[in-house]
Structure 1
Amino acid sequence: MNQPAPDLCLKTLTGETVCLRHLHGCTVILSFWVTWCPSCQEDLPAKDRFYRALPPESPLRVYSVNVTGREAEPGKVEPFVRQYGLALPVLVDKGRSAYDAFGLTSVPSTVLIDPRGNVRGIYDETVPFMDVVAKVGKWLD
Protein backbone atom coordinates (compact mmCIF):
# COMPACT_ATOMS: atom_id res chain seq x y z
CA MET A 1 0.00 0.00 0.00
CA ASN A 2 1.37 3.39 -0.97
CA GLN A 3 -1.35 5.99 -1.49
CA PRO A 4 -1.65 9.59 -0.27
CA ALA A 5 -3.26 9.94 3.14
CA PRO A 6 -6.55 11.84 3.18
CA ASP A 7 -6.18 15.55 3.92
CA LEU A 8 -7.78 15.50 7.36
CA CYS A 9 -7.84 17.94 10.25
CA LEU A 10 -9.16 16.68 13.58
CA LYS A 11 -9.57 18.32 16.98
CA THR A 12 -7.97 16.90 20.10
CA LEU A 13 -9.98 16.44 23.28
CA THR A 14 -8.30 19.63 24.53
CA GLY A 15 -9.34 21.65 21.47
CA GLU A 16 -6.15 21.84 19.38
CA THR A 17 -6.37 21.02 15.68
CA VAL A 18 -4.08 18.41 14.13
CA CYS A 19 -3.87 18.32 10.31
CA LEU A 20 -2.15 15.42 8.58
CA ARG A 21 -0.67 17.77 5.96
CA HIS A 22 1.24 19.55 8.75
CA LEU A 23 2.87 16.27 9.77
CA HIS A 24 4.75 15.69 6.50
CA GLY A 25 8.34 14.79 7.33
CA CYS A 26 7.16 12.68 10.28
CA THR A 27 6.09 9.08 10.42
CA VAL A 28 2.55 8.94 11.82
CA ILE A 29 0.68 6.17 13.61
CA LEU A 30 -3.08 6.63 13.97
CA SER A 31 -4.94 4.23 16.23
CA PHE A 32 -8.73 4.19 15.75
CA TRP A 33 -10.84 3.06 18.71
CA VAL A 34 -14.12 3.26 20.64
CA THR A 35 -14.78 2.97 24.38
CA TRP A 36 -17.02 -0.12 24.24
CA CYS A 37 -14.52 -2.31 22.36
CA PRO A 38 -12.70 -4.90 24.56
CA SER A 39 -9.82 -5.18 22.05
CA CYS A 40 -9.44 -1.37 22.12
CA GLN A 41 -9.29 -1.48 25.92
CA GLU A 42 -6.31 -3.83 25.64
CA ASP A 43 -4.70 -2.09 22.65
CA LEU A 44 -4.69 1.54 23.83
CA PRO A 45 -2.66 1.07 27.04
CA ALA A 46 0.10 -0.68 25.05
CA LYS A 47 0.18 2.14 22.52
CA ASP A 48 0.16 4.65 25.36
CA ARG A 49 3.25 3.00 26.91
CA PHE A 50 4.97 3.15 23.52
CA TYR A 51 4.03 6.83 23.13
CA ARG A 52 5.35 7.68 26.61
CA ALA A 53 8.70 6.04 25.75
CA LEU A 54 9.28 8.26 22.69
CA PRO A 55 11.81 11.06 23.12
CA PRO A 56 10.36 14.56 22.60
CA GLU A 57 12.50 15.08 19.49
CA SER A 58 11.24 11.87 17.84
CA PRO A 59 10.17 12.17 14.19
CA LEU A 60 7.38 9.71 15.03
CA ARG A 61 3.92 11.05 15.87
CA VAL A 62 1.38 8.76 17.53
CA TYR A 63 -2.29 9.66 17.93
CA SER A 64 -5.37 7.79 18.95
CA VAL A 65 -8.56 8.61 17.06
CA ASN A 66 -11.89 8.10 18.76
CA VAL A 67 -14.50 7.14 16.17
CA THR A 68 -17.34 9.22 17.57
CA GLY A 69 -19.80 7.91 14.97
CA ARG A 70 -19.37 4.39 16.36
CA GLU A 71 -19.68 5.40 20.02
CA ALA A 72 -22.89 4.41 21.79
CA GLU A 73 -22.28 7.25 24.28
CA PRO A 74 -19.74 9.86 23.06
CA GLY A 75 -19.82 11.49 26.50
CA LYS A 76 -17.90 8.49 27.86
CA VAL A 77 -14.73 9.26 25.86
CA GLU A 78 -13.12 11.74 28.27
CA PRO A 79 -13.90 9.63 31.38
CA PHE A 80 -12.47 6.60 29.54
CA VAL A 81 -9.22 8.47 28.80
CA ARG A 82 -8.96 9.55 32.46
CA GLN A 83 -9.79 6.05 33.73
CA TYR A 84 -6.96 4.53 31.69
CA GLY A 85 -4.60 7.45 32.42
CA LEU A 86 -3.78 7.87 28.73
CA ALA A 87 -1.15 10.44 27.77
CA LEU A 88 -1.52 9.46 24.11
CA PRO A 89 -3.13 12.41 22.30
CA VAL A 90 -6.77 11.72 21.44
CA LEU A 91 -8.17 13.06 18.19
CA VAL A 92 -11.94 13.14 17.80
CA ASP A 93 -13.30 11.84 14.51
CA LYS A 94 -16.24 13.86 13.20
CA GLY A 95 -18.78 11.05 13.15
CA ARG A 96 -16.89 8.57 11.01
CA SER A 97 -15.23 10.94 8.54
CA ALA A 98 -11.61 9.91 9.19
CA TYR A 99 -12.58 6.26 9.76
CA ASP A 100 -14.37 6.19 6.41
CA ALA A 101 -11.68 8.22 4.60
CA PHE A 102 -9.16 5.47 5.39
CA GLY A 103 -11.67 2.76 4.42
CA LEU A 104 -11.62 1.16 7.86
CA THR A 105 -14.09 -1.55 8.80
CA SER A 106 -13.20 -2.43 12.39
CA VAL A 107 -11.76 -1.15 15.64
CA PRO A 108 -9.12 -1.13 16.78
CA SER A 109 -7.41 -0.28 13.52
CA THR A 110 -3.96 1.20 13.11
CA VAL A 111 -2.93 3.34 10.14
CA LEU A 112 0.74 3.87 9.30
CA ILE A 113 1.68 7.00 7.30
CA ASP A 114 5.21 7.56 6.00
CA PRO A 115 7.08 10.90 6.13
CA ARG A 116 5.90 11.75 2.60
CA GLY A 117 2.27 11.56 3.70
CA ASN A 118 1.50 8.20 2.11
CA VAL A 119 -0.51 5.44 3.79
CA ARG A 120 1.85 2.49 4.04
CA GLY A 121 -0.33 0.11 6.00
CA ILE A 122 -3.70 -0.42 7.63
CA TYR A 123 -3.80 -3.04 10.36
CA ASP A 124 -6.69 -4.53 12.33
CA GLU A 125 -6.61 -6.05 15.81
CA THR A 126 -5.12 -9.30 14.49
CA VAL A 127 -1.77 -7.60 13.78
CA PRO A 128 0.37 -7.16 16.90
CA PHE A 129 1.32 -3.53 17.50
CA MET A 130 5.02 -4.45 17.69
CA ASP A 131 4.77 -5.70 14.09
CA VAL A 132 3.55 -2.23 13.09
CA VAL A 133 6.39 -0.63 15.08
CA ALA A 134 8.90 -2.83 13.23
CA LYS A 135 7.64 -1.40 9.92
CA VAL A 136 8.05 2.14 11.28
CA GLY A 137 11.74 1.55 11.92
CA LYS A 138 12.70 1.84 8.26
CA TRP A 139 11.56 5.51 8.12
CA LEU A 140 13.32 6.55 11.30
CA ASP A 141 17.02 7.29 11.30
Structure 2
Amino acid sequence: MDKPQAPSFALLDLEGRTHRLEHYAGQLIWLEFWVTWCSACLDALPRKEVLYRTMQHPKVTFLTIDVTGREASPDRIVAFMKQSSFTFPVLRDEGTKVTDAYGVTSVPTTVLIDQQGRIHGRYDETVPLPQIISEIGKLLS
Protein backbone atom coordinates (compact mmCIF):
# COMPACT_ATOMS: atom_id res chain seq x y z
CA MET A 1 0.00 0.00 0.00
CA ASP A 2 1.35 3.41 -0.98
CA LYS A 3 1.90 5.80 1.87
CA PRO A 4 0.56 9.34 1.41
CA GLN A 5 2.86 12.35 1.14
CA ALA A 6 2.94 14.36 4.35
CA PRO A 7 1.04 17.62 3.92
CA SER A 8 3.33 20.63 3.78
CA PHE A 9 3.17 23.14 6.62
CA ALA A 10 4.74 26.39 7.77
CA LEU A 11 4.23 26.96 11.49
CA LEU A 12 5.72 29.33 14.03
CA ASP A 13 7.48 28.01 17.11
CA LEU A 14 7.23 29.70 20.51
CA GLU A 15 10.17 31.99 19.65
CA GLY A 16 8.49 33.15 16.43
CA ARG A 17 10.69 31.17 14.01
CA THR A 18 8.98 29.54 11.04
CA HIS A 19 9.36 25.79 10.56
CA ARG A 20 8.47 24.36 7.16
CA LEU A 21 8.22 20.66 6.47
CA GLU A 22 10.61 21.25 3.56
CA HIS A 23 13.32 22.38 6.02
CA TYR A 24 13.59 18.76 7.14
CA ALA A 25 13.77 17.08 3.72
CA GLY A 26 15.58 13.73 3.93
CA GLN A 27 14.99 13.48 7.68
CA LEU A 28 12.79 11.06 9.57
CA ILE A 29 10.34 13.37 11.36
CA TRP A 30 8.51 12.67 14.61
CA LEU A 31 5.49 15.00 14.90
CA GLU A 32 3.75 14.96 18.25
CA PHE A 33 0.27 16.57 18.36
CA TRP A 34 -0.93 17.60 21.83
CA VAL A 35 -2.73 20.16 24.01
CA THR A 36 -2.07 21.44 27.54
CA TRP A 37 -5.34 20.22 29.11
CA CYS A 38 -5.20 16.60 27.91
CA SER A 39 -4.43 14.15 30.74
CA ALA A 40 -3.02 11.52 28.35
CA CYS A 41 -0.77 14.23 26.86
CA LEU A 42 0.38 15.30 30.33
CA ASP A 43 1.21 11.66 31.13
CA ALA A 44 3.14 11.19 27.87
CA LEU A 45 4.99 14.50 27.57
CA PRO A 46 7.64 13.80 30.25
CA ARG A 47 8.59 10.58 28.39
CA LYS A 48 8.64 12.48 25.10
CA GLU A 49 10.95 15.06 26.72
CA VAL A 50 13.36 12.29 27.73
CA LEU A 51 13.14 10.89 24.21
CA TYR A 52 13.84 14.34 22.72
CA ARG A 53 16.88 14.88 24.96
CA THR A 54 18.36 11.44 24.32
CA MET A 55 17.45 10.80 20.68
CA GLN A 56 20.06 13.04 19.11
CA HIS A 57 20.32 11.29 15.75
CA PRO A 58 21.48 13.32 12.72
CA LYS A 59 18.70 11.87 10.55
CA VAL A 60 15.81 12.29 13.03
CA THR A 61 13.90 15.50 13.77
CA PHE A 62 11.54 15.69 16.76
CA LEU A 63 8.83 18.37 16.62
CA THR A 64 5.68 18.87 18.63
CA ILE A 65 2.57 20.70 17.50
CA ASP A 66 0.27 22.35 20.00
CA VAL A 67 -3.24 22.19 18.57
CA THR A 68 -4.12 25.81 19.34
CA GLY A 69 -7.65 25.40 17.99
CA ARG A 70 -8.36 22.93 20.80
CA GLU A 71 -6.77 25.01 23.57
CA ALA A 72 -9.07 26.95 25.92
CA SER A 73 -6.31 29.56 26.22
CA PRO A 74 -3.73 29.24 23.40
CA ASP A 75 -1.49 31.90 24.96
CA ARG A 76 -0.99 29.68 28.03
CA ILE A 77 1.42 27.39 26.15
CA VAL A 78 4.52 29.53 26.85
CA ALA A 79 3.88 29.52 30.62
CA PHE A 80 3.06 25.81 30.46
CA MET A 81 6.39 25.02 28.81
CA LYS A 82 8.33 27.06 31.39
CA GLN A 83 6.48 25.47 34.33
CA SER A 84 7.05 21.99 32.93
CA SER A 85 10.74 22.57 32.05
CA PHE A 86 10.14 20.91 28.68
CA THR A 87 12.73 21.78 26.04
CA PHE A 88 11.35 20.06 22.94
CA PRO A 89 10.38 22.34 20.05
CA VAL A 90 6.74 23.43 20.03
CA LEU A 91 5.08 24.61 16.85
CA ARG A 92 1.70 26.31 17.04
CA ASP A 93 -0.98 24.98 14.74
CA GLU A 94 -3.13 27.56 12.99
CA GLY A 95 -6.30 26.53 14.80
CA THR A 96 -6.54 22.91 13.67
CA LYS A 97 -5.33 23.38 10.08
CA VAL A 98 -2.27 21.10 10.23
CA THR A 99 -3.90 18.71 12.69
CA ASP A 100 -6.78 18.20 10.25
CA ALA A 101 -4.44 17.93 7.23
CA TYR A 102 -2.64 15.07 9.00
CA GLY A 103 -5.88 13.26 9.86
CA VAL A 104 -5.29 13.59 13.60
CA THR A 105 -8.57 13.06 15.45
CA SER A 106 -7.35 12.75 19.04
CA VAL A 107 -4.42 13.86 21.16
CA PRO A 108 -1.81 12.84 21.87
CA THR A 109 -1.00 11.50 18.43
CA THR A 110 2.44 10.78 17.02
CA VAL A 111 2.93 10.94 13.25
CA LEU A 112 6.10 9.48 11.76
CA ILE A 113 7.19 10.91 8.41
CA ASP A 114 9.78 8.87 6.53
CA GLN A 115 12.85 10.21 4.77
CA GLN A 116 10.92 10.46 1.50
CA GLY A 117 8.33 12.76 3.09
CA ARG A 118 5.58 10.12 3.33
CA ILE A 119 3.43 9.43 6.38
CA HIS A 120 4.75 6.14 7.74
CA GLY A 121 2.17 5.90 10.53
CA ARG A 122 -0.08 7.57 13.09
CA TYR A 123 0.01 6.40 16.69
CA ASP A 124 -2.39 7.37 19.47
CA GLU A 125 -1.81 7.09 23.21
CA THR A 126 -2.64 3.37 23.19
CA VAL A 127 0.52 2.55 21.21
CA PRO A 128 3.49 1.92 23.53
CA LEU A 129 6.43 4.30 23.07
CA PRO A 130 8.90 1.41 22.49
CA GLN A 131 6.81 0.31 19.50
CA ILE A 132 7.11 3.76 17.90
CA ILE A 133 10.86 3.82 18.63
CA SER A 134 11.12 0.39 16.99
CA GLU A 135 9.47 1.83 13.86
CA ILE A 136 12.12 4.57 13.81
CA GLY A 137 14.82 1.90 14.00
CA LYS A 138 13.31 0.08 11.03
CA LEU A 139 13.10 3.28 9.00
CA LEU A 140 16.73 4.17 9.75
CA SER A 141 18.11 0.73 8.87
What TM-score, normalized by structure 1, do the two folds share? 0.94
Q: How far apart in 2 are the matches of 1:53 and 1:35?
A: 23
For 1:14, give the aligned amino acid.
Answer: E
For 2:106, give the aligned amino acid.
Answer: S
> CA RMSD of the aligned region, Å?
1.2
Indicate whether 1:59 and 2:51 are aligned: no
Structure 2 counterpart of 1:87: 87
Query: 1:54: Cα distance to partner?
Result: 2.5
Q: How far apart in 1 are the matches of 2:84 and 2:128?
A: 20
Task: Map 1:1-141 onto structure 2 (within 5 A).
Answer: 2-55=3-56, 58-141=58-141
Show structure 2 runs of 5+ residues with no match.
none
Q: How far apart in 2 are the matches of 1:112 and 1:88?
A: 16
Q: How far apart in 2 are the matches of 1:80 and 1:36?
A: 10
Q: Which moved more, 1:28-37 or 1:18-27?
A: 18-27
Query: 1:98: Cα distance to partner?
Result: 0.7
What TM-score, normalized by structure 2, do the two folds share? 0.94
SS at match of 1:3: coil
Post-superposition Cα deviations, 1:77-122, rounded to whole Å, max 9, x if no partner, equal 1111111111110000000011000111100011000010000101
SS at match of 1:64: strand
Q: How far apart in 2 are the matches of 1:117 and 1:59?
A: 13
For 2:79, give the aligned amino acid.
Answer: P
For 1:27, give the aligned amino acid.
Answer: L
Q: How far apart in 2 are the matches of 1:96 and 1:31?
A: 14
Query: 1:129: Cα distance to partner?
Result: 1.8
Show structure 1 runs of 5+ residues with no match.
none
Query: 1:48: Cα distance to partner?
Result: 0.9
Moved over 3 A (4+): none
Give the fraction of aligned pairs with identical amino acids, expressed as a percent. Answer: 42
